[in-house]
Amino acid sequence: MPVTASSADPTRVPRLPADFVWGASTAAYQIEGAADEDGKGASIWDTFVRRPGAVLDGHTGDVACDHYHRFDEDVALMRRLGLDAYRFSIAWPRVLPAGAGKVEPRGLDFYDRLVDALLDAGIEPTPTLFHWDLPQALEDEGGWLNRDTAYHFAEYATVVAERLGDRVKRWITLNEPFVHMSFGYGFGVHAPGRALLLDALPVAHHQLLAHGLTTTALRTNVPGAHVLIANNCTPVRLRSDARADEDAAAASAYDVLHNRLFNDPVLLGRYPDLSPYGMTDESWGGIVRDGDLASVAQPLDGLGINYYNPTWITAPADPSGGLPFDLAEPEETYERTAFGWPVVPDGLTELLTGLKARYGEALPPLWITENGCSQPAGTEDQARIDYLAGHIAAVAEASARGVDVRGYFTWSLLDNFEWAEGYHQRFGLVEVDFATGLRTPRASFAWYRDLIAAHRP
């Protein structure tokens, strides 16, 4: 069935299996607020938002949605939606204020209360252990450029698993190591604000090593743990006027750096060839050590996919600019989100079927761990409904073509702190008035609730 974005009636969206998991996603720094409360240490985002010009209009996550104090209200909203699962992230500096060493029990207590509230509401807690808020004390030691950070991460994960592992079974180690590496360390537009271009590549390996070590820690400490990583993936597209040689080579380079760099080691136990980018031997000059890839590639219970849109690529206009590609605009006229991102639901089918074609038997079940759009303020958000309808239909299409997809978590439950854009981009099923904290469900909230209900046996 062709994927269209017109299925506004939730009962007309193609069906997914009855045991399909319906969820919503958020992240700690984007919603919690309470940035300096109950012993929490500073994260790199607490530091970065204070850098002049780093975030639009100088917005910060100091208060955000004040979820830290209003989580009961938010769980009540999730219950109204009928969610099966809720993906949130745990703030490392709330649990270990300096990243390592002393544990802050009040930080753990918060997540303990949240987990209990979710379970009382019949919603499966699905925590992500790292969604970009690295403790500043570890950044001061080099952050993810420093291999030690991977070991500290596994120790932090162990502390959390020991406290929550009796009730939490499904865990996500990292959120989008690609975006954290490229935006945070490559281009400097996210915390920690370092613009190292391809010299940021060690950040990829140290995050993936952290994923591997943490997978072991979770399996050791949580009987029956179900472990995933959430990778941002994009189908890479060429324009129709692309040149077969240099544009195709640029697209392939982009695919390596965005997609394969983070999927190949996890699924195949090896990195794609990075010799054009300075990593001329397999050990990346000693960064990838014996045994690392075995840890990174240990079996996973699922692969989380965060999808927003395809990426169009051309060869770099300035080959001396330091990167082997330029981002291009599609020639087609797509609907655009408030962010200006093209709305391309069939890109999600292309992505999921493409992963199956590329990785075959090595591909574990897939989970859409993020998908959603920013739309203008207001609660009459037909465009968001169309976006969700189109993308959920795209997942159903991939499923019908034999891809094993187990769940869909929309981004996001609430309007929240959208990183460098501050509060200017609104991704929520629920509108948030950031002056008062007032939550108002949008039309998409009722639509998603009805879609979930329509899937119930």
Which residues bind to ligand BGC, rule: CB under 6 A?
Answer: 27, 30, 175-176, 179, 232, 306, 370, 411, 418
Q: How far is the CB of 67 from ligand BGC (least distance, A)?
A: 14
Please report where in the chains the tokens 């909230």 appear, as a residue.
Answer: 445
Q: How far is the CB of 420 from ligand BGC (least distance, A)?
A: 9
Q: How far is the CB of 376 from ligand BGC (least distance, A)?
A: 16
Catalytic-labelled residue, pool 176, 397, 418, 431? 176
- Sorted by sequence, the CB contacts under 8 Å of residue 263 that are 6+ apart come out as 231, 233, 303, 355, 358, 359
Q: How far is the CB of 390 from ligand BGC (least distance, A)?
A: 17
Distance CA 51, CA 352 (A): 38
8 Å CB contact between 84 and 22: yes
How many Cβ atoms from other residues are within 10 Å of residue 224's Cβ? 8
- Nearer Cβ to ligand BGC, position 63 or 179? 179
- Nearer Cβ to ligand BGC, position 302 or 428? 428
- Nearer Cβ to ligand BGC, position 163 or 384? 384
- Nearer Cβ to ligand BGC, position 84 or 176? 176
- Nearer Cβ to ligand BGC, position 153 or 284? 153
- Sorted by sequence, the CB contacts under 8 Å of residue 222 that are 6+ apart come out as 161, 165, 168, 169, 171
Any idea what DSSP says for residue 43? B
How many Cβ atoms from other residues are within 10 Å of residue 195's Cβ? 12
DSSP assignment of 65-117: T-HHHHHHHHHHHHHHHT-SEEEEE--HHHHSTTSSS---HHHHHHHHHHHHH
Q: How far is the CB of 148 from ligand BGC (least distance, A)?
A: 25
Distance CA 429, CA 207 (A): 31
421 belongs to the catalytic site: no
370 belongs to the catalytic site: yes
Give me the numbers of helices (H) and strands (E) for the chain, helices first please: 15, 13
3-state secondary structure of 317: coil
Q: How far is the CB of 209 from ligand BGC (least distance, A)?
A: 21
- Nearer Cβ to ligand BGC, position 7 or 412? 412
The closest alpha carbon to 95, from 85, 84, 81, 106, belongs to 106
Distance CA 199, CA 338 (A): 32
Question: How far from the centroid of its chain's Cα atoms is residue 401's Cα?
Answer: 25
Catalytic-labelled residue, pool 370, 397, 418, 431? 370
Record the tokens describing residue 154, joined without a space.
């596994």
Any idea what DSSP says for residue 30? H
The closest alpha carbon to 116, from 69, 172, 71, 67, belongs to 71
Q: How far is the CB of 81 from ligand BGC (least distance, A)?
A: 19
Supply the residues annotated as catalytic: 176, 370
